[in-house]
Structure 1
Amino acid sequence: MSGMDYFGSGTNQEIDDRGSVLPGYVPYLSLVFKLTATLVNMLLVGWVVYTIKTTRNLHRPHNIFVANLLTSGILYTLSGTLLSGAMMIGYQLGVEFFISCDPWKLRTLPFYVSITSFVIIAADKVIAVTSPFKYNRTMTPRVVTAIVGGAWLLAIIPTAYAFIDGGDGVNEVPEYGTCSFDGKGYAQLVFIIMIPTFVASILTMILNIYLAMKAYQVHKQIEKETKLSGHNSQSDNLAALKKKQHRIRQNRKPIITLLVVISGYIFIALFFIPVQVLGRLLIDSQIYQDLMDYVVSPNMELVLQFYSVLVYGLYFKQVREPMMKRLRRLLRINKFNSVAPQP
C-alpha cells in the first residue's frame, strides 16, 4: 500500500526537452533496483502465502486475509515494475512512448484491495475479541471467500473511475519508466489514492486502539473483581473476565503485527513526504529534484511492500515457525540429494 506513488511518481514536474540532469546510468540503476526488489518481494510473498496454504492450523480467517493482503500488494508492485521496465526498454530502443500512462491505472485494482484488506483484518480481530461465539459461527470458509471476493469486486469501482475520468494532466516520462502529473492528474491522485489511503489507515488505527482499550478495561475489571471476591477463583464473573482476557491474549500477536505494519507505513510516509516537500522548497538543486521525482518516489512502494511481508513473515510467530520448518526440510532434502551416492 503506497499513497505516494500512483502513476509511478509524485510530482507535477515533467522532464523537459533537455532531459533529466541526472547521469545517464541512473535509469539503469533504478531499473535494476526495481527488478531485484520485485523478485525478492515475490519470493518472500510466495513463501508466506504457500506456508499459510499448506499449514492446516493456519487456515483461519485472519491468515487468509493476510495472504490476500500480501497477494494484492505483490500484484501492485509487480505490475508497476513490468510497466516501468517496458517503458524504459522502449525508450532505449527509440520507441519513446511505447507504453502510455493509461495501463498504470489498472494498478488501482490491487491497490484498493490492499488498503481494504488492512481494514478487514482489523475488523476481523475486533469481532473475534468482542463476539467470539458469533464469530465462530459466522466466519465460515464460504463467508471468508465472499469477503475476499467482495474486496476485489469493490475495487473495480475506483479502477473504472480512474479510466472514465480521463488522462488529462498525466504525462509519460519514458526515460525513467514513470509518469508525472499536474492539474487534473494531481487532483485525481489526491481523490482516488491519497484520501482513501488516509481514511483506511486512520480507521485501522482506531480499531486497533479500541482493542487496546478493551484489553486494558478487562485487565482493570479483573483486578477489581479479584479484590471484591477475596481472590476467590470460583467467582463466575471473574471466570468470565479471565476468559475474555485469554481471548484477547490469543489475538494479541496478530493485532500487534497489524499495528506494527500500519505504524511503519505512517512513519515512512510522515518521514518521506516532508523530506520531499521541504527539499523542493529549501534545496535549489535540479539533481535533487530529479532524484526524488524519478528515482526515490517511484521506488518507495517496493520498500513498503518489503516491509509488510518482512513483518508478517518474520515477526508473526505463527507464520514464521512453519516457514522456517519448511526451509530446514528443503535444505535437508537438497543436502541429502547432493551427497547421495550415484549408481
Structure 2
Amino acid sequence: VKNKGGKCNDEILRENITSSRQLKHNNAKVAVLGASGGIGQPLSLLLKNSPLVGELSLFDIAHTPGVAADLSHIETRARVTGYMGPDQLNDALKGCDVVVIPAGVPRKPGMTRDDLFNTNATIVATLADACARNCPEAMICIIANPVNSTIPITSEVMKKYGVYNPNRVFGVTTLDIVRANAFVAELKGLDPARVNVPVIGGHAGKTIIPLISQATPKVEFPADQLSALTARIQDAGTEVVKAKAGAGSATLSMAYAGARFTFSILDAMNGKEGVVECAYVRSEETECKYFSTPLLLGKQGIEKNLGLGKLSAFEEKLVAEAIGELKGSIKKGEDFVANMK
C-alpha cells in the first residue's frame, strides 16, 4: 500500500523507528530568555513544535507562567517550564545546551538599532552573566539588538568568568539571509526554499552585506536593480517597523529565523554533517574583531569559519564601507562591559 508521498507503509514504519532511535540524542534542553515578548512567544512555539527539543525552559520578567502553561498543552514531546523574575533566572538556565536570547526592547519608528543600546546592553549583560554562572558550556544565540554590540558584550562578560568560548557565542543574523532569500526568489520567480544568499558583515543597516554574487542558484541583476535589492535587504527591518506603525518591529519573521538557526545548531550538535549558517561571531576574517560569515557548524559549535569567499567589486566596496561602523559598535559594546560596576 502506498501513501500520498509514494512510500509504502513498511517504509514509513522503518523511518519512524529510525527517527525514534535518533530522538535519544535529540533531548536538548533549550532556554528562551525573553520568552513572553513579541519574538519570544512565536519562537517558543516553533521550538515546542520540534522533535529536536526535549526540554524548553522559558524565562521572562512577566507572564511566563501563562505562556508556559499554554505551550505545555501542545501534543509534542518537549517538556515546558516557565520561570519568572530575576530570582528564577538561575534555575531557568541550569543544564541548558542552547540559550536563545530575544529579550530586550523593540524599535519604534524613527529609531535605529543603536538607539536600543542603553536599555538592551544592560539586559544582555545581566543575562550573559547568568549564562556564564549556570551553563558556561551552552551555545549562546543572541537576537537582542543591537547585535553588532550585544555579541561583544556577551563575550566580554563570559571572559570575566573565564568561560568564554568563541565557538559557542553567536549573533543571530539569520533574518537577513531569510529576507535575502525571499526577496531574490520574488524578483526571479524562484521557490524561496531553494534559494540561498549568504549575508556577511553585521546586523544593522549598511553593515548587512548580501553576497548576491554567491547566491545559489546563480542569479544576475542589472546594477540599478542590484543596488535597490541590496538596500531593501539592509532596510527590511525598518520596512516592518514602519508598517507596524509604532506597534513594534519584526517579530514573526525573526522568530522563524531564530528557530531556523537554533535547529541548525541542534542538528550539528546531534552529529549532522554539512550544516552551514551565517552568524556574527569572533572572527579573524577581516580587521573587525567580530564579523558574520558562513560557518560550518559541528558538535562543539563553530567547526570552521568558511570566510568571505570570492566577492564582486560591488560587494568589496560594501565591506569596505561597513568596517568603520562595525568597529565603532564593537568598541561601544566592549567599553560598556569595561565600565560596568
TM-score normalised by length of structure 1: 0.27
Higher normalized helix content (fraction of residues): 1
With structure 2 as the length reference, what TM-score do the two structures score?
Answer: 0.27
User: Whose strand proportion is higher, 1 or 2?
Assistant: 2
- CA radius of gyration, larger in: 1
Query: Higher relative contact order at CA 8 Å, sep ≥6: structure 1 or structure 2?
Result: 1
